[in-house]
Every structure is written in C-alpha cells, then in structure tokens.
Amino acid sequence: MAIFSPGFTGRRNTDDVKLPPGQYLERGFPVLTAGPTQRIRTDQWEFSIVTETGEKKAWNWQGMLDLGPEKIDTDIHCVTSWSKFGTTWKGVSLDKFLDGIETTADYVMATSYGGYTTNLPLAEITGGKAWVAYEFDGKDLHAEHGGPARLLVPALYFWKSAKWVTSLRLMNGDAPGFWEQNGYNMHGDPWREERYWGQ
C-alpha cells in the first residue's frame, strides 16, 4: 500500500525517474582521468583475458571487430554525481570474448594501458551488460574518453568502465582496483548508491 503525504504531487518530470539517488543530469560529457591520457594506435592495440590458471586469450583490433560489434544505447552514472542519458556506443559484448573460456572465477580485474585497474563481479559483466566500446555518438571514441577502446559497464558507476582497457584477469574472490583501494566501493551500484567504503 502506498502512503502519500499531504501535498505530494508526484515526480516533477521524467528525468527524476531515470536518475539514481543523489545524481544530477549532465548534458555535456566530462572527462575524468587519474593520470595522463593514453594514446594507443589500433594497430598496436591488444585486449586479452587471462584465466585464474594463467591461460591467456588475446585479440588484436581486427580480431575484436570480427567478434561482431553491436550498438548500445544507455544511461551512464558517475560517482561524482553526474548522469548522462541516452548515450550511444558501438562495441563488442564481453560475452563474445568470454565465450569458450573455461573458468570458475567470480570476479575480474580490468587493467588499462597506463596502469589503471578496477574490479568487477563476473555476473555484472556477462549476460549482455558490458562491452569493449570503441565508438561514441557515431564517431571513433576520443582518447580522452578511453579510445581507441574502453570498457562500458553502464549498470555500475562509471569508474568501473576502464578507459584504454587492455586486459581482464579472472579471479577467484574479489580484490580492490585503483579507486577501490582509495575509498570507492567494491561493487558500485548507482541505484543502491554504493559510492564509498561501507555503503
């Protein structure tokens, strides 16, 4: 049963419905990077998955494209409180990279060119929920935003979407990445407002 207080007039507009708690709507696309922008040429780019037993499977740029890209239309949410609606991307689902890889892991550590790391539950990046994205808004992804390719995990705060991603390491058990060692939440679900340690 719903309880309404006197004077309750409902939501102000549809934006509120799509905004996680504590977030505001951003029209621009802020750049947030710890450290320098990485500049990686697609002919030198590599993406790999390393299993918990040390087996490595790697793709070059063309190998990534050959897996079959798709278009993604999604909202994104940064822990610094901005959200952006209806962003459009092109990328390859992590399901396609993980297909055929034998693992009992339940977490992954994403690692980027430049050394940035972030940890994610495997369950949050499988089942059509995460991509290696290389186009934004119909154009090649700018280096500032993680081009030539970045992780895109829109169901979690955007620090989990590692820019210039180059590998996923499968792990039995969780371990903190860069921001997770510095006060950010191990999980980072914006709808549960998991911003920092202890939330």
102, 121, 129, 47 alpha-carbon torsion, rounded to 10°: -60
Q: How far is CA 9 from the centre of its chain?
A: 36
Please, which of residues 138-167 interact with Mo ion by CB under 5 A? 159
Query: Which positions from 24 to 53 touch Mo ion by CB under 5 A, shown as an x/- string?
Result: --------x---------------------
Decide whether 64 or 145 has the Cβ nearer to Mo ion.
145
178 binds Mo ion (CB under 5 A): no
Backbone angles phi, psi at 170, to 5 degrees: -75, 135
Interaction partner, residue 65 (ligand MTE, Mo ion, none; CB < 5-8 Å by kind):
none
In DSSP terms, 90 is beta-bridged to: 71, 135
Cα separation of 157 and 67, whole Å?
26
Cα separation of 108 and 118, whole Å?
8
Cα separation of 131 and 153, whole Å?
7
Query: Which positions from 39 to 68 touch ligand MTE by CB under 6 A, shown as an x/- string?
Result: ------------------------------
Query: Which positions from 172 to 191 touch ligand MTE by CB under 6 A, shown as an x/- string?
Result: --------------------
Task: Kindly list the residues in this chain that would bind ligand MTE in the complex (CB under 6 A).
Answer: 29-34, 78, 112, 114, 116, 145-146, 158-159, 161-164
